Structures are given as C-alpha cells and as structure tokens.
Structure 1
Amino acid sequence: MYNLPNDDSLDISTLSRLFESTTNSYKYLYFLSLLDILKRENFDIVSPISFQEIIVEMLANAWYPHNYFKLSFGTQDQIANKLDSLQLEITEPILKFRDTDKKLLRTAISNQNINDIVTFISNYVPYRLIRPFYNEETRRFKDYDVNPAIITLSKNQFDNKKPLYCFNAEKQKDCNAIILHPDWIKYLEKNYTIVRGWASWEWLKYMQQRNPNIPNVVNKIFMPQKRDSLSKQTKYWQTVLTHQEIKCIYSQVQLNKDEISLDHYLPWSFVAHDQLWNLIPTTPSVNSSKSNNLPSQIYFSAFVNLQYLGLTVSHNNISEKKWLKDIESFVSDLKVNQAEDLLNLEILTNAYETNLQPLITLASNQGFSANWVYA
C-alpha cells in the first residue's frame, strides 16, 4: 500500500523490510517511538538517544491501545504485561486526550520502576530492528553472535553503508543509546508523513491480526486527537424529548432535553464511534458513573424500547429525508432489510439481540467491566 520515497544515498529497500517476519509488538513500537521523538525535537538531534527514552516512549504509545482500548498485543507480549503491572497516575488530560504530546503519560511512566522492561527490550530490539541492513553478513550466525556483529558492523560501516543508526559503545554490555545517521534524520524529516503512514499501516496490520473480531481497530492503535462532537446526536434526542417524556433507563429520573448527556451503551472505548444506534440520553451524573463499563443485562430491554421510542417519535415529527439520514447507521450496523423495519419493535429487538449481545460478550472477554448497575 505504501511506497517509501526513494533516495539515491540511502538504502530505502532495506528500510521497507524492517518489519519482516515480526511476531511481537516491539519493533513497530520502537520505530514509531523513534519517529515521535524526532518529530518532538523538530529533527534537531545530534546527541545519542537513550534506550530508556525510547522505551518510555514505547510504553506511552502502547498505553492507549492496550490499557484504554484493551487491545491484545499477543499473549506473550512483555510491553502489555509491564503496562498491566504499573501503578500509573492517569489524570483527566490523559483520559480526555488533551495530553497531546504524551508528556503527562511519559512522566507517569518515568516515575515508575521500569528497569526490567528497559533491560528486556534493550537486549534484543535495537539490534534486531536494523538487522535487515546486515542480513547477508549475519545470515548463518548463531543467535548470540548476532548482536555483537551488528554493533560492530553498524559502527564500522556507518559512513558508507549508512544503517539507520549505530550504538554508543563497542560492547553490548556498555550500549545504552543509539546514534541516528544524519542522512536518515534528513530523510525522515523530509518524508515524515509518508514514513509515519507506512509504519502505522504495518502496525495496524499486526494489530488487526491479533484482534480479528474487535471493532474499529484502526481508531484504537494511537491516542485519538480528540473526541468528535455529539451535537447532531444530541439534537436528535432533543427533538424526541420535545415530543415525548422520557425517563433515564438507569436512574428512572425524568429527563430535561436541555440537560441531557448521551451515553454510549457499549462504551466508546470499545466501539470507538458515536453511531446513534448505540447512544441514549441520560443525566450527566449517571453518564459519569457508568463511565466505560458494560451495563447489566437488566437494562437491555429498556435500552431497545428507548431506541424504538426515539425512532418512532422522530419518524413522526421530522421530514422523511432527514429521518432516513439520521438512521442510516441503524440500517447498516444492525443489518435490517429496510428503514421501515426499525419501526417494528419485534424486528428491532431481534436485530439488537443478534448484533449487540455478541459485542457485549466480546467486550467483557476483552476486559471491560461487565454488569454495571446504577446505584
């Protein structure tokens, strides 16, 4: 899908093979983290980049897909295991995606003891990531001979073969940083958007293979830049409330159309979308209490009945054209034959049971807290 821009002075073909035969998350996160560090420093880097700095960046990049969206990196992935073991102080700017450069998240991670994961990643990933530059030279090497060879080769051939980087020492036990080749820094600066897109695409393919049934993986592998506005969805439910009194299905409180908050019945952090079929009005306090939990089965019937009420009331009080536009996601995502089927409670209930219940089970298995009840 991605063709990396050519450069006569650099081995772009080898760069494009960095992720060949990759079976865990480490190389993807390592390279993406290098790009993030370069971008943050405006590609003005002359000193070595420490293993510690890169691995803190890796953990920060892994936090949203693993901890927030609960994606799997693979059963044996040590980055995921390490994140699960950390006691991080996760503040509201992080949860609300306002920690735009991950500064707070990186600080929270740096304040923890991560020596074990730094050692684990550093023993393997920095050397093997650039091994494609030296595939021929190391082809028949025993595994324990590969790293020392790459350290020596990358240093001795730094000026002529131009690997992506070399190391700051001659022996592995003394290596704790990489030195990026200046020509590669220039290349990455010039072609940042394309290279980042290529690496992100490779990362997405890896994550989709490990999360084959999870919805919307593409929107979960990086920190979202911001949450979309719910203004259109709010207007839909305000129109319904103008013509019909409604009680919150969780608290039984009578709703005021000017003070509603929209609840994602399936948590946004699971579906990563704002489709109307998954949104119902509630109060701000109830919505805050529910957070990203899965509601108890006791609310399912009330949820479907409320959606049915919304569909019928809106159908009777807005133009046919607008109604059909509003309910497009119901038809496509709930897989009903035609829009009018949504006005049949039995068909609507069957559609929700068929499509929503498996998602609830999947989300529960993925690690989202289940059986939430408002108290």
Structure 2
Amino acid sequence: MFADNKSLPPSYSLNISVLSQLFNSTTNSYKYLFFSALLDILERNLFDYQPIHFRELVIEMLANAWYPHVFFKLSFGKQDQISLKLDRLNIQSGKEAITRKDVLISIINGYDVDDVINSLMRYVPFRLIRPFFAEELRGIKDGEVNSSIIMLSKNCFKKKKPLYCFNFENYKLVDNIIVHPEWINYIKENFVILKGWVAWEWLNYMQKNNPNSPNLARKLFPLVQRKSLIQQAKYWKLIMEKQPLKCIYSDNILDKHSISVDHYLPWSFVAHDQLWNLIPSIHHVNSAKSNNIPASDYLDKFISLQHQGLIISSQILPKKKWLNYIDCYLSDLRINEPNDLLKLEILMKAYQKTFKPLISLAQIQGFSTNWHYG
C-alpha cells in the first residue's frame, strides 16, 4: 500500500524519497511513535511554525503507546523500552474510562516524565532524520552521530531542507525541534495520506511482534467512542420476551428492562462487538467481571445460552433478519450451514475450537483468565 516514495505525494522542493526511508531498518517502536506524535501535534497546533518541546513529544508518544500496551496488552518487541516506561508511570487509574486521547494526555501531563524524556530523546529525534544526511555521516563514529546531525540540520536547513533542526548546537542542551516551514506546509496539505502511511508502517511493525493478536489494526490507536450495543441488546430482549434467561455468572433471572450486554471475551482483547461473543448479564456482575476472561467452568453455560438464543430467534424472527443476525456466527465460528447453529453439539465444538487458542493468547498477553463471580 505504502511501499515506497511513489506512494507519498510528490514535492518539487522537498526530498520525499528520504522521507519514505525514515522507518527503514527500524528495530523498535520509537520512530513510529515519534513521527506520529509529531504529526498529531502539528495538527493540534493548526500547523503553526512554533518549536515543539521534547516533553510535548514524549507525552504524545506515551499517549499513543498507552492504548496498545495498557489497554490491549500488545507487545512492542523484546528490546523495546516504551512498555517499561509506561509500567513505571503506572497510568492505570480509571483506565476503562479513558476513551479520549486529550483526557489521557492531560493525565500523563501530571506525571513526572523527566526520566522518560532523557531516555527516549537521547537518540530518537536525531536518528529519525539521519537519512537526510546519509552521505555526510558515512564513516562517522556512532558516538559522534547525534552532534553531527545537530550541526548538519542547522547548517543545511535551507539547502537540504531536513524535516527539522534543533534549538541548540550543544547536544546536552537540545530540548526542542524546529520543523522546516516547507515540511509543515507539505504535511498540512497531505496530512491524511501521511497519517495513513505511518499507520501502515506501524501496523506492519506491530504485526511482527503480535502475529496472533485478533483485530490488531483496531488496537494500535487511541480509542474512538465505542459503538452502541443497542441492536445487540434488542436481540436478547426479543428472546427474553419469549423465555426467561439466567445470568450465567450469578444464576439470577435476568430482567429485560435492566440487562447489561457482556463481552464474554473482553472487548479490549477481541476489539469487536460481534453477537457470538455477547450475552445479557446483570449490570453489577458485568462491572465486576470488567476486563477479565471467565473461568473455564462458565464456558458451557455461555454456549448453552447462545444456543438458547439462536433457537428462539430462529423461531420468532423473519428468516432474512435472522440470517443477518447469525452471519457473524457462521463466518467467525466457521460453521457452514445456518441450521448447524441450532445443533448444540456442533455449536459446542465450534466455540471450543475457536475459544481455546484465543483464551491461551489472551493469557500470554496478560489478561486474567480464571475469573469467578463472587
């Protein structure tokens, strides 16, 4: 999709070929997070020509990394330190409610992130723009690269037009980047394409480190507002009008007027609202379950409740509407015929075959997999 510089919009005055090389030979998450943070800050600042402080960049990077690491428990790679930085900050309080990135940034801004700044900004801002000076840096010792990039970015700012330069010539004093005005204009004009490009590169990197994670693309970026579960609740309420249902966790009879729709495998793991993973439950029970995966002894109850729902819905819904509801069951559980969903033995086997590897993966990623109510 974004394989080379031909995928990025051309420019008569800027080196787009070098821009396309920013993520070549990348072994950790820092460059992706830094460049994405830079784009987000420029957009928020309405593409103003003001310097951008390292602290602002780091907070943006931590906010972008928080969702995949803390909320979705993804790996950034064995040698990557960003997850350790987030764990030490322990930005966990009320994490279920942080669905807006601006709120998360405000929370992180209240933390002492000096150690993170000193660590992440030691190399990333300098090495990111290294491709702009590949010829000049050939043969330079690694310990001298950062200082050389500072001088080159300043001295060649008008001629080579690197993405940015720095506010001081002394490496130890540098704490701001100054984005080249022509690059700001280019980013402004092509913002959506550039965001798509870095998202694609970020997805490819994370896919290597999380090869078995379901719906990975939906777990890499700040959460958008969760979709309403009105239709899914409506499905279960129709069933409850025909037959009383019990909460599989508490064994209490469910009241159709006050049900809570529960993701059996938590949303933060599966990142979808498919009906085959949703059941009605009691509000306080669902809250207690939170982000945990139920213990194995609940699984048969869950499948039986799903089977009960499928049987009743097949009897009360018009065929076309029922087929629309069950389409996700057929595709995701890999069941061939609609009528096979009505056979408990087939449904049991399909769920067990689907859930067993998912639950094992969830456990590896750090989700609690032995939750009991009460």
Partner Cα separation in structure 2 for residue 308 and residue 57 of structure 1: 45
1:292 aligns to 2:319 (yes or no):
no
Candidates 14, 17, 23, aligned match of 1:10:
14
Gaps of 5+ in 2: none
Tell me the secondary structure at the aligned position of residue 272 of structure 2.
coil
Q: Return the offset for 1:29.
A: 0.2
Q: Retained in 2: the 8 A contact 1:293–1:369?
A: yes
CA RMSD of aligned residues (A): 1.2
The percentage of aligned residue pairs carrying the same residue is 54
Q: Return the offset for 1:307.
A: 0.5
1:26 aligns to 2:30 (yes or no):
yes
What are the equivalent positions in structure 2 for 1:161-200 lying under 5 Å apart? 161-200=160-199
Q: Return the offset for 1:65.
A: 0.7
Q: Retained in 2: the 8 A contact 1:308–1:345?
A: yes
1:67 aligns to 2:66 (yes or no):
no
What are the equivalent positions in structure 2 for 1:86-105 lying under 5 Å apart? 86-88=89-91, 90-91=93-94, 95-99=96-100, 102-105=101-104
- Deviates most, 103-112 or 269-278: 103-112
Distance 1:280 1:225, change over 3 A: same
What are the equivalent positions in structure 2 for 1:141-220 lying under 5 Å apart? 141-220=140-219
The residue aligned with 1:321 is: 320
Q: Retained in 1: the 8 A contact 2:133–2:149?
A: yes
Q: Retained in 1: the 8 A contact 2:99–2:223?
A: no
Partner Cα separation in structure 1 for residue 64 and residue 109 of structure 2: 13
Partner Cα separation in structure 2 for residue 224 and residue 109 of structure 1: 16
What are the equivalent positions in structure 2 for 1:222-237 lying under 5 Å apart? 222-237=221-236
Letter of the 2:81 partner, please give it: Q
What are the equivalent positions in structure 2 for 1:346-365 lying under 5 Å apart? 346-365=345-364
The residue aligned with 1:82 is: 85
- TM-score w.r.t. the length of structure 1 is 0.96
Gaps of 5+ in 1: none
What are the equivalent positions in structure 2 for 1:130-141 lying under 5 Å apart? 130-141=129-140
Letter of the 2:84 partner, please give it: N
Letter of the 1:235 partner, please give it: K
Q: Return the offset for 1:111.
A: 2.4
Q: Retained in 2: the 8 A contact 1:134–1:150?
A: yes
Per-residue Cα deviation, 1:324-362 (whole angstroms, up to 9, x for no partner): 110011111111121111111111001111011111111
The residue aligned with 2:300 is: 301
Q: Return the offset for 1:275.
A: 0.4
Q: Retained in 2: the 8 A contact 1:151–1:167?
A: yes
Q: Return the offset for 1:153.
A: 0.7
The residue aligned with 1:45 is: 49
Partner Cα separation in structure 2 for residue 63 and residue 119 of structure 1: 19
Partner Cα separation in structure 2 for residue 118 and residue 316 of structure 1: 61
Letter of the 2:76 partner, please give it: F
Distance 1:123 1:65, change over 3 A: same
Q: Retained in 1: the 8 A contact 2:333–2:351?
A: yes
Q: Return the offset for 1:283.
A: 1.2
The residue aligned with 1:368 is: 367
Q: Return the offset for 1:160.
A: 1.0
Q: Retained in 1: the 8 A contact 2:153–2:162?
A: yes
Per-residue Cα deviation, 1:128-158 (whole angstroms, up to 9, x for no partner): 0000101121122221121111111110000
Q: How many residues are matched?
A: 370
Q: Retained in 1: the 8 A contact 2:98–2:104?
A: no
Letter of the 2:333 partner, please give it: L
Partner Cα separation in structure 2 for residue 6 and residue 141 of structure 1: 31
- TM-score w.r.t. the length of structure 2 is 0.96
Partner Cα separation in structure 2 for residue 87 and residue 335 of structure 1: 40
Tell me the secondary structure at the aligned position of residue 136 of structure 2.
coil
Tell me the secondary structure at the aligned position of residue 173 of structure 1.
coil
Partner Cα separation in structure 2 for residue 325 and residue 96 of structure 1: 32
Per-residue Cα deviation, 1:36-87 (whole angstroms, up to 9, x for no partner): 11111111132x2111110111011100110001111012211111101113
Q: Retained in 2: the 8 A contact 1:97–1:226?
A: no
Letter of the 2:197 partner, please give it: W
Q: Retained in 1: the 8 A contact 2:33–2:64?
A: yes
Q: Retained in 2: the 8 A contact 1:267–1:292?
A: yes
Partner Cα separation in structure 2 for residue 373 and residue 241 of structure 1: 25
Tell me the secondary structure at the aligned position of residue 258 of structure 1.
helix
1:240 aligns to 2:278 (yes or no):
no
Q: Retained in 2: the 8 A contact 1:97–1:225?
A: no
Q: Retained in 2: the 8 A contact 1:90–1:105?
A: no
Partner Cα separation in structure 1 for residue 92 and residue 103 of structure 2: 9
